[in-house]
Amino acid sequence: MKKITIAIDGHSSCGKSTMAKDLAREVGYVYVDTGAMYRSVTLYALRNNLFNEDGSVKTAELEKEMPNIKISFKFNAEAGRPDTYLNGECVEKEIRSLEVSNHVSPIAAVPFVRSAMVAQQQQMGKDKGVVMDGRDIGTTVFPDAELKIFVTASAQVRAQRRFDELKAKGMPADFDDILKNVEERDYIDSHREVSPLRKADDAIELDNSNMTILEQKKWLLDHFMKCSEQ
Ligand code: DC
């Protein structure tokens, strides 16, 4: 069986990371959550007052700070997946808050942020054997990935999933706020100038609105087997 690169792209909260994480664990690949990297930069920007009153980014200040933002992942055996670290601090919980979700799109649209993150992601996946999830993995980070999946689901279904996730973690959640955030992020992610969210021509599309996690898992594993046996 040859080692391959798996790119999983799609809208926010459509279950990409659950699928990607499960597959990586099952087949012994490294899992990289690229959204966590943009979220970590956002957390840093929030903590260091790098947003203007209107929510736009203080780009000149952020550019100066980029060398001070170090993002890494460490495998958490208990959770069965990597935790995200920002300058040595585990920020796995903080980066999932609604405040970070509400500020991440403008950060992810900044060209120098994207080029820094893409360079790190290419480095992390250079030896293949990686499952990477995000928005531009199949189009920009690994355009030659052997298996590309584009996942989608309706905005209502995705907002409900994020609501359930936050509730389960005991974090504050309001369904209407979450739905608004999902819709706004869809719009910004697909309309930004640099690497907008779009399906790569050779990606396989999966609408999982009416699928269980188990069904998705099997679907993805079947594609992985076919692809890595070729
Ligand atoms: O997957 P997520 O919701 O954790 O992603 C957070 C934000 O980061 C999302 O608004 C889009 C952005 N993102 C991106 O622009 N490119 C990626 N490869 C991953 C995420």
pLDDT in tens, 136-195: 999 999 999 999 999 999 999 999 988 998 899 898 889 999 999 999 988 988 898 888
Report whether residue 138 contacts ligand 1, using a CB cutoff of 6 Å: no
Q: Which of 120-124, 208-212, 218-222 has the lowest mean pLDDT?
A: 208-212
Mean pLDDT within 8-25: 91
CATH architecture of 5-224: 3-Layer(aba) Sandwich (3.40)
Mean pLDDT within 127-131: 96
Report whether residue 35 contacts ligand 1, using a CB cutoff of 6 Å: yes
Q: Kindly indicate the confidence band of residue 25, based on its pLDDT and cuts at 50, 70 and 90.
A: very high
Q: Kindly indicate the confidence band of residue 121, based on its pLDDT and cuts at 50, 70 and 90.
A: very high
- CA–CA distance, 122 with 8 (Å, rounded to integer): 15
Q: Which of 38-42, 43-47, 176-180, 182-186 has the lowest mean pLDDT?
A: 182-186
DSSP letters spanning 165-191: HHHHTT----HHHHHHHHHHHHHHHHH
Query: Residue type at 228?
Result: S
Q: Residue 142's closest CA among 128, 161, 152?
A: 128
Site to probe by mutation for ligand 1, drawn from 9, 11, 12, 141 as the one with most ligand atoms within 8 Å of Cβ, is 12
Q: What is the pLDDT of residue 144?
A: 97
Ligand 1, atom 10, lies closest to the CA of 105
Report whether residue 10 contacts ligand 1, using a CB cutoff of 6 Å: no
Check: CB of residue 179 under 8 Å from CB of residue 155.
yes
How many A from CA of 83 to the centre of ligand 1? 16
Average pLDDT of the chain to the nearest whole number: 93
Q: What is the pLDDT of residue 65?
A: 97
Q: What is the pLDDT of residue 196?
A: 85
Q: How far is CA 83 from the centre of its chain?
A: 13
More confidently predicted of 196 and 70: 70
Angstrom distances, CA of residue 104 to CA of 16, 46, 95, 129, 207: 18, 10, 10, 28, 24
Site to probe by mutation for ligand 1, drawn from 17, 33, 37, 38 as the one with most ligand atoms within 8 Å of Cβ, is 38
When mean pLDDT is compared over 46-50, 80-84, 166-170, 182-186, the highest value belongs to: 46-50
Q: What is the pLDDT of residues 28-37, one digit of tens each?
A: 999 999 999 9
**Secondary structure of 17-82 in HEC code, one letter for each residue:** HHHHHHHHHHHCCEEEEHHHHHHHHHHHHHHCCCECCCCCECHHHHHHHHHHCCEEEEEECCCCEE
The residue with tokens 């943009």 is: 38
Ligand 1, atom 20, lies closest to the CA of 35
How many A from CA of 199 to the centre of ligand 1? 15
Instruction: Name the binding residues for ATP.
Output: 10-18
Q: What is the pLDDT of residue 220?
A: 96
pTM higher than 0.85: yes
Report whether residue 114 contacts ligand 1, using a CB cutoff of 6 Å: no
Coil, helix or strand at residue 123: helix
Report whether residue 186 contacts ligand 1, using a CB cutoff of 6 Å: no
